[in-house]
Structure 1
Amino acid sequence: MDSPNLTVAASAEVGGGGLRRSATLICAPIMADSVAKMVVEMGRAKAAGADLVEIRLDHLKVFDSSGDVKTLIDQSPLPTLFTYRPKWEGGQYDGDEKSRLDVLQLAMELGADYIDVELQVAQEFIDSIHDKKPEKCKVIVSSHNYQETPSVEALGNLVATIQATGADIVKIATTALDITDVARIFQITVHSQVSNVPIIGLVMGERGLISRILCAKFGGYLTFGTIDSGAVSAPGQPTIKDILHLYNFRQIGPDTKVFGIIGKPVGHSKSPILHNEGFKSVGFNGVYVHLLVDDVANFLKTYSSADFAGFSVTIPHKEAALKCCDEVDPVAKSIGAINCIIRRPNDGKLYGLNTDYIGAISAIEDGLRGSLNSSHVTDSPLAGRLFVVIGAGGAGKALAYGAKQKGSRIVIANRTYERARELADTIGGEALSISDLDKFHPEDGMILANTTSIGMHPKVDETPISKHALRSYALVFDAVYTPKITRLLREAEESGAIVVSGSEMFIGQAYEQFERFTGLPAPKELFRKVVESSS
């Protein structure tokens, strides 16, 4: 595995004269099947905030090359990039090669701002347009690898080969088998800036998402964003709306610090909405991204530069991540799991902590206090209660530890009884299999806390316990926050229990993480407003 050295200094300047490159452009692929529809889509792309449009001629069912190409150029409200992608490079065109290249040359002559030609035919095409190319038109020479992301050495050779064709702009699109593959593209993008040839380096697939966001930090020429979710021209493309408003793309630069949520799955997480809005509100130069990670140790080893300053950690990596840290908070060590990693700026060492239990236990206590109207505000209403935790993973350990600290008696219920027994023995409690929960009611007024993903979108009809068994519980908490009201919470409320949503835990655990990331007070009112508006 290549070990990237992603330095901010290297990405700040480009070219022999040390001139700073302009901001990374956002290109919207236009893939309608008629010219009329394409014209409409181009207008939508401009309204969404795109800088240019990629007109995918290979998606047109029928078109008159001369008249329709001119129409598309004349009626586009944005600069145009013409692509006529053949099937052998992942496109739709399956006709005569000369006719295809003639259309691209025609687009160039009629006023296209960019044309994209594949490396396999680039040298011949560029030679054929010698002295014919208008100065304003830039030729992008592209290479697509739908199988993998090659080594840094192979990528460097590929860039040199593309540059040798006379390309105005180099484009490399590879496929992410692992999120660490993206680091090689970042490395090549940074190192390629010693030449005067701009580079587009993107990695396809969900594991490659950060290549499409952080290209603005590492000097990529442009990124692609779709107008509508799902209408992608390559796997893993985000929407223009998300690029601009979720990730604050226009504010990302060489000095931007990178944070993110490590998980698998992770695309459902609302943490990027929360933290990016928070960063923007306090003027902090950071971006927070989704990180689909298979091997957390490999991820942290690969993204080891100061640019990657901190991470939230979610299912299933909370326990494995603890082992990757140089130092761990004593409470997190007792729990055996972390949900936050900070890279210390002075020595680069990783510090792990757990903010899960703070947010969840506080929310549960607030829920009980609100129903008790007790004057004993200094005592925890959890003291002496039977506290049933569903799940023996990182979040389950955090809740069990937090409740134990408040004086609760602990029961651990897990799909695998052995895991429940192991945690119960460690913390001093009882163990059950989840299948036994329906007939477990030794007393009334118990607390139930689900820390598993049961009931999480898209499997919203699932619940870990039957409705009739919920009558024994005074309060039910669900760590799932997508959806906000799960089937478990809905049925618990119908059974007369107080319910506490996972969004309360989510907000509470995020406060301390934000303050650790930025060194600034968390904008708590904004956090609550963001979570409520995105539910």
Structure 2
Amino acid sequence: MFQFTSSFCSPIMRKSETLICVPIMGDSIDIMKININKAKLAGADLVEIRLDSLKIFHPSQHLNTLIKDRILPQLFTYRPKWEGGMYDGDDNKRLDVLRLAMELGADYVDVELQVADQFYDSIRGKTLNKTKVIVSSHNYQHTPSVEDLGKLVARIQATGADIVKIATTAVEITDVARMFQIMVDSQVRCVPFIGLAMGDRGLISRILCAKFGGYLTFGTLESGVVSAPGQPTIKDLLDLYNFRQVGPDTKVYGIIGKPVSHSKSPILHNGAFKSVGFDGVYVFLLVDDLANFLRTYSSTDFVGFSVTIPHKEAAVKCCDEVDPVAKSIGAVNCIIRRPTDGKLIGYNTDYVGAISAIEDGVLRGRLNGGGTAVSPLAGKIFVVIGAGGAGKALAYGAKEKGARVVIANRTYDRARELADVIGGDALALADLDNYHPEDGMILANTTSIGMQPNVDETPISKHALKSYSLVFDAVYTPKMTRLLKEAEESGATVVTGLEMFLGQAYGQFEKFTGMPAPKQLFKKITENL
């Protein structure tokens, strides 16, 4: 099993040394010029001008104009269809254009490995200014082994490349570790290297290249307008991930899940890290196999993880040690790598965040609430929808507060299993509409029903909500789910998932950093979500 390790034997990089390149695509030169200006205003270090995206292109005229009027360093790419681009003409004419760009003083040109020898043969002996040649290889199927990647780097170097570029496809997030290993090795050997893994599972390659010595990364002007799968926007690189502050000593944190892109945790934690001056970056981690992920990223660079659906229960088995409360719940939503021995310690901060938010909601719904040490949940029927990790945390917390817990789940056997563990009752979710033994009950949805993009879904019919005095939904994208809207219309107090999200995040931040959570800052950030 490959494990990623990192060690910097070369002089330590300064922060911000990795360049941000914005791909510029457009039907016309005029559109490209507008986008180049936007890239400069956005904070780009250079632009990649994708000549293959032009509908009308007069090489001599247009290259002359672009290079003469440049306001940022320019990388010219004329990508053929056989390498994932849009150009479908004669290769010799295409390479003539790149040679012309060099003659006119381009800062960089990108040449595919397959034609690199031919290209270098054609410019040998010529004086072509100081243009740097990037020789690139793209693999749209997978990411090769470390050994094969190393051989590929050597092949590209042998062409005479000034800069080596390899882009692969991340079939699993663990594939990216191999790219990081080559990136570190290349930095130690002083080889300028661009290494990127395409796709959603490869996103971390585009952010953490600033930590592991990558020459540049790509950030788009707009979300969805990308030149390769998985590119973040330059705004996200700079504002969300604090890219300029990422360097060799930066510690890596992240949210592990599947799906995971809906999570607001990166906004919260990166904002807090920046505010308190903590050298960490928090990233999305789209993980298929949790055990494999944790084995692969065993480096002390990766020090803390939030865990969400569907990995909370599996996380218990993947940790070397589990906090007693998390063990009782049977679910872990926070993993810390202990610095002294590298062991993984599992915790659960879900139950505190959720139960506190629900207790506050109950008191809010009372005209004369508060003033007692007994939990307002004591004695109440507390219906938990879902028997997964979050459901276990809510059921455990409610039971601890003296509530009479009922588990409702699509699969009755799973509901019965959890109910037996905590000492409660069980229902099939299909029977929940007809369950109303008393009024004033509490309902907590811990499933993903109603989460974007499935915002029209709800786990229970509106007419059945009349039996509940309070309804909580762990989903917070959207903040007001259909369940909560209909509960409010039925007269119930509602508690959003954002309130639970904040509560559990306080505990995670403190475990990540050893510092008190900046609660007011967290609340201010979530107001804008």
Partners in 1 of 2:298 and 2:125 — Cα distance?
47
Q: Residue 88 of structure 2 is aligned with which of 88, 94, 115?
A: 94
2:359 to 365, 375, 378: 365
Question: 1:524 is matched with which residue?
Answer: 519
What SS does the corresponding residue of 2:480 show, helix, strand or coil?
Answer: coil
Q: Tell me if 1:498 matches 2:488.
A: no
For structure 1, the 5+ residue unaligned runs are none
- Root-mean-square deviation (CA), in Å? 1.2
Structure 1 CA distance for aligned equivalents of residues 373 and 68 of structure 2 = 72
Matched residue count: 528
Question: Please, which moves more after superposition, 121-130 or 478-487?
Answer: 121-130
> What per-residue deviation string (whole Å, max 9, x for no partner) do you get for residues 455-476 of structure 1?
0011101000011110100100
For residues 201-249 of structure 1, what are the alpha-carbon distances to aligned partners after superposition, in whole Å with 9 as ceiling and x for unaligned? 0000000000000000000000001101000100000010111111000
The answer as to whether partners of 2:15 and 2:245 remain within 8 angstroms in 1 is no
- Number of the residue aligned with 2:11: 13
Give the whole-Å Cα distance in 2 for the aligned partners of 1:161 and 1:244: 34
Among 99, 118, 121, the alignment partner of 1:105 is 99
Alignment of 1:447-486 (within 5 A): 447-486=442-481
Secondary structure of 1:107's counterpart equals helix
| 2:255 pairs with 1:298 | no
Distance in 2, matches of 1:74 and 1:435, equals: 69
**Superposed, which structure 2 residues align to 1:130-529 within 5 Å?**
130-372=124-366, 373-529=368-524
CA distance in 1, matches of 2:45, 2:404: 59
Tell me if structure 2 keeps the 8 A contact 1:182–1:208: yes
1:383 partner SS: coil
Q: What amino acid is the match of 1:281? A: S
Q: Distance in 1 between matches of 2:11 and 2:227?
A: 30
Q: Deviations over 1:18-47 (max 9, x none)?
A: x86971001111110111111111111111
Verify the 8 A CA contact 2:249 2:279 in the aligned structure 1.
yes
Report the Cα offset of residue 73 of structure 1. 1.7
The C-alpha deviation readout for 1:346-385, integer Å capped at 9, x for no partner, is 0000000000010000000011112222343311000000
Cα displacement (A) at 1:196: 3.2
Distance 1:360 1:200, change over 3 A: same
**Aligned residues of 2:383 and 2:407 also touching (Cα < 8 A):** yes
Alignment of 1:52-63 (within 5 A): 52-63=46-57
What is the CA-CA distance between 1:133 and the residue it aligns to?
A: 4.7
Q: Deviations over 1:464-510 (max 9, x none)?
A: 00111101001000000000000000000010000000000000000
Instruction: Give the match's secondary structure for 1:301.
Output: helix
Separation (CA, whole Å) in 1 of partners of 2:454 and 2:265: 20
Distance 2:191 2:376 in 1: 65
Q: CA deviation at 1:127?
A: 2.6
Once the 2 structures are TM-superposed, how far is the Cα of residue 531 of structure 1 from its aligned partner? 1.1
CA contact (8 A) 1:13 1:193 kept: no
Give the Cα–Cα distance (whole angstroms) in 1 for the partners of residues 109 and 261 of structure 2.
33
The question of whether the paired residues in 2 share the 8 Å contact of 1:43 and 1:76 is answered with no
Q: State the secondary structure of the residue aligned to 2:2.
A: coil
Amino acid at match of 2:438: E
Could you tell me whether the CA contact under 8 Å between 1:21 and 1:219 is conserved in 2? no
Larger deviation, residues 146-155 vs 66-75 = 66-75
Q: Which amino acid aligns with 2:210?
A: A
Residues in 1 aligned to 2:314 and 2:188: alpha-carbon distance in whole angstroms:
39
Distance 1:135 1:405 in 2: 73
Listed as ranges, the gaps of 5+ residues in structure 2 are none
What SS does structure 2 have at the residue aligned with 1:387?
strand
Matched residue type, 1:247:
Y
Deviates more, 1:241-250 or 1:131-140: 131-140
User: Residue in 2 aligned with 1:114?
Assistant: 108
Give the residue type in structure 2 aligned to 1:394: G
- The answer to whether the Cα contact below 8 Å between 1:186 and 1:215 also exists between their aligned partners in 2 is yes
Distance 1:375 1:393 in 2: 31
Structure-1 separation of matches of 2:165 and 2:314: 36
Question: Deviations for 1:99-151, whole angstroms, at most 9, x for unmatched residues?
Answer: 10010011111121100000011122123212435453100000000000000
SS at structure 2 position matched to 1:58: helix
Q: Is the 8 A contact 1:13 1:20 kept in 2?
A: no
Question: Which string of whole-angstrom CA distances, capped at 9 and with x for unpartnered residues, describes residues 316-372 of structure 1?
Answer: 000001101111000100110000000000000000000001000000001111222
Percent of aligned pairs sharing the same letter = 75
Question: Does the 8 Å CA contact 1:465/1:488 hold for their aligned counterparts?
Answer: yes
Specify the SS of the correspondent of 2:226: coil
Distance 1:408 1:492, change over 3 A: same
Secondary structure, aligned partner of 1:216: helix
How many Å separate the matches in 2 of 1:375 and 1:207?
A: 47
Note closer, same or farther for the CA distance 1:505–1:123 as it changes in structure 2 (3 Å cut): same
Q: How far apart are the structure 1 equivalents of 2:6 and 2:290? A: 19
* Aligned equivalents of 1:2, 1:350: Cα separation in 2: 18
Q: Which whole-Å CA distance do the structure 1 matches of 2:6 and 2:294 have between them?
A: 13
Contact 1:13 1:21 in 2 (8 A): no
TM-score normalised according to structure 1 size: 0.97
Helix, strand or coil: the match of 1:412? strand
Take 1:75 and 1:330, find their aligned partners in 2: how far apart are those partners? 65
